[in-house]
Amino acid sequence: MHDMSAHVAPHGAPTSFIRKHVFSLDHKVIGKQYYGLALVAVFAGMVLSWLMRIHLGWTNFAIPGLHFLSANGAPGNVMTPEYYLQLMTMHGTIMVFFVLTTAPFAAFGNFFLPIQVGAEDMPFPHFNMMSFWVTFVAFLVLVSSFFVSDGPTLGGWTQYAPLSAIGAIAGPGQGLGVVLWATSIALFCVGQLLGALNFITTTLDMRTKGMSLMRLPLSAWAWFITSVMGLTAFSVLMPACILLILDHMAGTSFFVSSNLVINDQLQSAHSGGSTLLWQHLFWFFGHPEVYIAIVPGLGIVSHVLITNMRRPMLSHRVLIYSFGALAVLSYMVYGHHMFVSGMNPYSSLAFSFPTLIITIPSTVIVLIWLGSLYGSKLRINTASLFALGFISMFISGGISGFFLAQPSIDIMLHATYFVVGHFHLVMAVAAIFGIFAGTYFWFPKMTGRMMHEGMGKLHFWLTFVGAYCIFMPFHYLGIAGNVRRYQAFVDDYLQPLIPVHRFITVAALLTGLAQFIFLYNLIHSRFKGAPAPDNPWEATSLEWTTATPPPHDNFAGKLPVVYHDPYQYGIESSSGDYVMQNSPERIKTAYDEK
Amino acid sequence: MAKIFAVTIILIAIGSAIPILMHTWTLPQDISVHGPLIDEQYSDTMAEAGISFLASQFLLAFFIWKFSHPQPGAKIRNFPGGAMGLVIAAFLLVGTEVLALGVFGAKAWASVYFTPPAANAMPVQVQASQFAFYFRYPGPDGKFGPLHPELISEANQNFFGLDTTHDPDSKDDIVTAEMAIPVNREVHLLMHSKDLGHSFFVPELRVQQDFVPGLDLSVHFTATKVGKYEIVCTQLCGLGHYNMKAYLEVKSPEDFDSWLKQQAAMQ
């Protein structure tokens, strides 16, 4: 704990439009910029998923206007097999990197971490600005691949070698498309590394007087743990992407073995590389990435739930330790993506047990949530509905992990829609429910206006039911042996499953439409919403102690002093059933562990 | 609204479980010797996961129902046993569960991967390529001739790159576009990819194994039921990935012998 003013690179309130809204050093503006980027990305990714789903339900259906996106990819508006794979790759890449990583971590974390620790900004504001703009350029580079000769890469967001490394001969988009993909992701890694550096130093060095580590809100803990994961995971993916680019541009063979014959041509330019090396490097990043996407959600949801349960969690420490356990174990389990890859089968067991063990901290987290709901005074609003929906999704998506953690069962379920259902529920839908919970909860503080509750609840109901209608049937398809990443189902045994795909497509279209209610609510409330008071939810953490929206230096020149644990609810105080962290008032009854 | 939400969660949980309980969609029929262990492991996991899923969702719904409308002046109450009780429960219940699943699952895995093929297992080589499988049988000499990558040619239908002029072992090798095996005889499948990553998946055979370019792998299995099954690729390999398939015919020993002779005659 320090007086943080000595540690921030000094920067006064900006006066020009450019410095205020574009190249801003203010963590709050950068947080909003990340949120805006994620918003654009998530709608782009969703439209891509619509196109894919329509194609999977009705393979020869002409989608009006699709040829404008790609004349070659959709002649007569009917998607070609390769274009399906290209859209699928872009959907996965956009969603995993530019939505699930940026929104819960970079957007909310940037805006609220410094305020929650009681700082006036992050310690390296220029790095912070650079972090966003490098990420923005990464997004542009990725999207630009839609407009190059043969379109974006078709290799999936995992970009397995040698398909990704051998060049254009392997298929459309496998030349320049891959180079742009790898460049984009390498840039993205740079952005996230700069962000992680700021998050870690903010948490460790910028806490205000009285803000011990255990007094940090759970959301701050989640962002801190995520930033540590990001520092180690992205620093592996970035060089892997550079090696992939070198295989394309510099004639190296990191990921290409000898004597490959493609299109009847011996690929003599390459020799001696390892195709499994890419998988190891990718999944060493890829599995922690799952937790980079979901741990901020665990923190945000805990933070939102506590406020709406009017009580602290049964144990603050146990949740923090469980988040930490997830982070540590996430590096020991990555091989479960590779059970049938040709990796040594003994190592499959070595990866299987930690994967099974990771269910223990996950279960602890769920049980602490459920145990804390018991005996609470639960307030139902859009934010708490999404937080509770998150728990339901996290349970559903997490439990299917029992199957995939076991190599023997993975023989049947690997690369099927069971995996698609599993990771969408636990990593995508749950994480997005966390983003929604955070949005409805923090929007007043970020903008000074309230979101419309009626529209919010309608959005919740349609999304909650719709997401289950989409993603639960994926598990049934996988059990029946439906392989993923097929643009059409030509195998005899897949024919009976096509009606299920059509049901999912209709559900996806309707659930996607419901997201426009959210978008309308977001934009309308930003300009026309009811003015928000400083603390509309009667919450306790430091972001609610300052003005709405917070001033440039967060606390108007006077840093708060912290007197309490973050969640002093269910007590008797002059303000009601809670005491804010910066209130010197003595607490009569506390429900935190002591 | 909270009560409607609670009921919705319960309906979704039950609705999700019904297709599993009704066996609307199940694992494809098993036709392998090692399959029952995998299926048993799957069933045990489904039972444990299903109970955990329903119990957690019901508990979530029940607490939302019960604690969202507190009486005026109601006090916050702690869960009996507190956090420590729940942590111990998680370690004991889930810890035991995952340990059991892990140990028994390892047994099923070992039955596939930790045992060598029998000495009399029938060798078959499979070559994967964009976007087809080809199969090779060693012929009467029981030996495969060497592969020459520079000779591989779809145009010349030399899918394995065999040099039948110079390699005596290659002369009697039998190359086919479909795979046939005799029922109840172990097969040792030698896997080679000529170009990219692919996979060999026969759901009924309980076999899925990736092809790794530059690394020849093998699996072994015994089919127990005569019939025709599909071999599909599960590793994204390019634009025709969805259409990369072949058929596996499990035949009686007599039918297999005559099929092999027929194929040899066509070389």
Q: Give CA–CA dist A221/A81, Å, rounded.
A: 44
Residue A471 and residue A418 in contact, taking contact as beta carbons nearer than 8 Å: no
Is any Cβ of chain A less than 8 angstroms from the Cβ of B42?
A: yes
Q: In the predicted model, is pLDDT for residue A281 greater than 50?
A: yes
Helix H or strand E segment including A576: strand A576-579
**Where residue B97 falls among pLDDT bands split at 50, 70, 90?**
confident
What is the predicted pLDDT for the residue at A106? Answer: 96
Best probe of the B interface among A317, A406, A459, by most B CBs < 10 A, is A406
Q: How confident is the model at residue B198 (pLDDT cuts 50, 70, 90)?
A: very high
Encoded amino acid at A331, one letter: Y
The whole-angstrom distance between A548's CA and the closest CA on chain B is: 28
Beta bridge partners of A531: A449
Q: Which is nearest to A314 in space by CA: B70, B68, B76, B90? A: B76
Closest Cα in chain A, distance from residue B191 (Å): 10
Tens digit of each residue's pLDDT (9 = 90 or more) over A406-432: 999 999 999 999 999 999 999 999 999
pLDDT tens column, A78-97: 999 999 999 999 999 999 99
What's the pLDDT at A529? 95
B76 inside 8 A of chain A by CB: yes
Q: How many CB atoms neighbour CB A493 within 10 A?
A: 16
One-letter amino acid of A267: Q
* Cβ under 8 Å to B: A residues 434-473: 457, 464-465, 468, 472
Q: Could you read off the pLDDT of A136-172 as tens digits, one per residue?
A: 999 999 999 999 988 999 999 999 999 999 999 999 9
CA distance A361 to chain B (A): 8
Q: Output the CA angle A477-A480-A486, nearest 5 degrees.
A: 55
Peptide bond into B131 cis (omega under 30): yes
pLDDT digits (tens, 9 = 90+) for A234-261: 999 999 999 999 999 999 999 999 999 9
For chain B, positions 231-250, list CB contacts with chain A under 8 A: 232-243, 245
Rounded distance, CA B188 to CA B243, Å?
A: 25
Q: pLDDT category, A592, cuts 50, 70, 90?
A: very low
Residue A354 pLDDT > 70: yes
Check the CA dihedral A52-A58-A64-A68 and report its sign: positive
Question: Residue A2: pLDDT above 80?
Answer: no
pLDDT tens digits along A210-238: 999 999 999 999 999 999 999 999 999 99
Confidence of residue A560 (pLDDT cuts 50, 70, 90): very high
Q: Is the peptide bond before A549 cis (omega within 30 degrees of 0)?
A: yes
The three-class DSSP label of residue B136 is strand
Mean pLDDT along residues A104-132: 96
Beginning with the edge strand found earlier in the chain, give each strand of the sheet holding B174-176 in spatial order. B174-176, B132-137, B122-129, B186-193, B217-222
Binary contact (A486, B86; C-beta < 8 A)? no
- Quick one: closest CA in A to B20, which residue? A476
**CA distance to partner chain A, nearest, from residue B222 (Å):** 16
Question: Which site among B156, B211, B239 would you substitute to test the A interface, given the most A Cβ atoms closer than 10 Å to its Cβ?
Answer: B239
pLDDT over 50 at B119, yes or no: yes
Q: Where are the beta strands (DSSP E) in chain B?
A: 122-129, 132-137, 174-176, 179-182, 186-193, 198-202, 207-211, 217-222, 227-232, 245-251
Residue B81's alpha-carbon distances to A334, A367, A513, B236, in angstroms, are: 35, 12, 45, 50
User: Rounded to 5 degrees, what angle do the CA atoms B28, A405, A476 make?
Assistant: 35
Rg (CA), chain A: 24
Nearest to A407 among B109, B130, B215 (CB): B109
Substitution target in A85, A316, A363 with the highest count of B β-carbons within 10 Å is A363
Q: Is B227 on the interface with A (CB under 8 A)?
A: no
ipTM exceeds 0.90, yes or no: yes
Q: How many CB atoms lie within 10 A of CB B22?
A: 9
The predicted structure's pLDDT at residue B48: 93
Residues 6+ apart with CB under 8 A from A242: A182, A186
Q: CB A377 to CB B203 under 8 A?
A: no
Q: Which residues contact A399 (CB under 8 A, 6 or more apart)?
A: B49, B52, B53, B56
Residue A294 has pLDDT above 60, yes or no: yes
Q: How far is A440 from chain B, CA to nearest CA, in Å?
A: 17
Give the pTM: 0.95
Residue type, A552: H
CB atoms within 10 A of CB A280: 17
For residue range B4-51, list pLDDT tens digits in order: 999 999 999 999 999 999 999 999 999 999 999 999 999 999 999 999
Query: CB-CB: which of B60, B207, B217 is closest to A392?
Result: B60
With a cut of 90, say whether residue A390 has pLDDT above it.
yes
Segment A97-123 mean pLDDT: 96
Residue A18's pLDDT band, with cuts at 50, 70 and 90, is confident
3-state class (DSSP) for residue A549: coil
Chain B neighbors of A157, CB-CB under 8 A: none
CA distances (Å), origin B72, targets A376, A377, B2, B106, B260: 13, 10, 17, 55, 83
Instruction: Output the pLDDT for position A9.
Output: 63
Mean pLDDT of chain B: 94
pLDDT computed for residue B74 by the predictor: 80
- 3-state SS, one letter per residue, for B95-118: HHHHHHHHHHHHHHHHHHHCCCCC
Report how far residue A453's alpha carbon sits from residue B200's, in angstroms, rounded to the nearest whole number: 52
CA distance A431 to A504: 20
Partner-chain contact B48 A275, CB within 8 Å: no
Neighbours of A353 (CB within 10 A): 18
Does A589 have pLDDT greater than 90?
A: no
Confidence of residue A5 (pLDDT cuts 50, 70, 90): very low
For residue B178, pLDDT beyond 60: yes
**B233 pLDDT higher than 60:** yes
Q: Do B79 and A372 touch (CB under 8 A)?
A: yes
* Cross-chain Cβ contact A264/B210 below 8 Å: no
**Bridge partner residues of A496 (DSSP):** none
Whole-number percent of chain A with pLDDT over 90: 90
With beta carbons less than 8 A apart as the criterion, state whether A84 and A156 touch.
no
pLDDT over 70 (residue A3): no
pLDDT, mean over chain A: 93
B12, A465 Cβ separation under 8 angstroms: yes
The whole-number pLDDT of residue A7 equals 61
Contacts of B266 (CB under 8 A, 6+ apart): none
- pLDDT at A4 (0 to 100): 46
User: Of A317-331, A444-458, B108-122, which range is least confident?
Assistant: B108-122
Closest CA to B26 of A484, A418, A476, A420: A476
pLDDT for residue A84: 97
What are B223's strand-pairing partners?
B32
Q: In this predicted structure, what is the pLDDT of residue A16?
A: 85
